[in-house]
């Protein structure tokens, strides 16, 4: 059974994951309108992934005797000055989500809720990977600069982007 403190914290995270999905959907739409099909498809996939993260939390809360809540969401930014700014916002957001997950882990330990602590370890690892991916993309974007040919290749190649993060274990 979840404590009220844990339930409230998990419901807060449900909202954060839902807002993440919306933010990445807005980024996908912006990129699509700009003709950046690869970036757009990448962001649509990210949006779907965040929704899956939200649903995983919803199921966990309900299965542990709590009640997951779906709340009103803050509207995401829908315009960006450049694709570079968009990816900077992506990294900022992933860092924010990591901090939120870390807060949840801390609360679960304070509450001595080891089942929730164990459940959250997947999110901790996922955030390491998400931040590594965002940093890798931003490094590539900075390398491209204003080169239109570089942007063309980046837009084409982003869908095949793979990042081996420490969270995944040793590279084989």
Rg over alpha carbons for the chain, rounded to the nearest Å, is: 17
Integer angstrom CA distances of residue 69 from 12, 20, 66: 9, 16, 10
Query: Does CATH place domain 4-163 in 2.30.30.40?
Result: no
Is 50 assigned to a binding site? yes
17 is in an annotated binding site: yes
127 is in an annotated binding site: yes
Domain range list for the chain: 4-163
- pLDDT, tens only, 15-42: 999 999 999 999 999 999 999 999 999 9
What tens digit of pLDDT does each residue of 92-114 get? 999 999 999 999 999 999 999 99
Q: What is the pTM of this model?
A: 0.91
């Amino acid at each position: 059974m979840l404590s009220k403190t844990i339930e409230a914290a998990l419901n807060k995270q449900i909202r954060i994951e839902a807002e993440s999905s919306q933010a990445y959907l807005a980024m996908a739409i912006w990129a699509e309108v700009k003709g950046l099909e690869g970036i757009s498809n990448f962001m649509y996939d990210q949006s779907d992934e965040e929704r899956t993260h939200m649903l995983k939390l919803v199921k966990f809360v309900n299965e542990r005797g709590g009640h997951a809540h779906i709340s009103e969401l803050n509207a995401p930014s829908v315009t960006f000055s450049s694709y570079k700014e968009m990816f900077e916002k992506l990294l900022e957001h992933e860092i924010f989500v990591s901090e939120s997950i870390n807060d949840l882990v801390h609360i679960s330990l304070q509450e001595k809720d080891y089942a929730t602590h164990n459940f959250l370890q997947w999110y901790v690892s996922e955030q390491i990977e998400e931040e590594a991916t965002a940093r890798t993309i931003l490094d590539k974007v900075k390398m491209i600069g204003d080169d239109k040919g570089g942007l063309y290749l980046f837009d084409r190649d982003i869908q095949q982007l793979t990042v081996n993060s420490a969270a995944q274990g040793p590279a084989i």
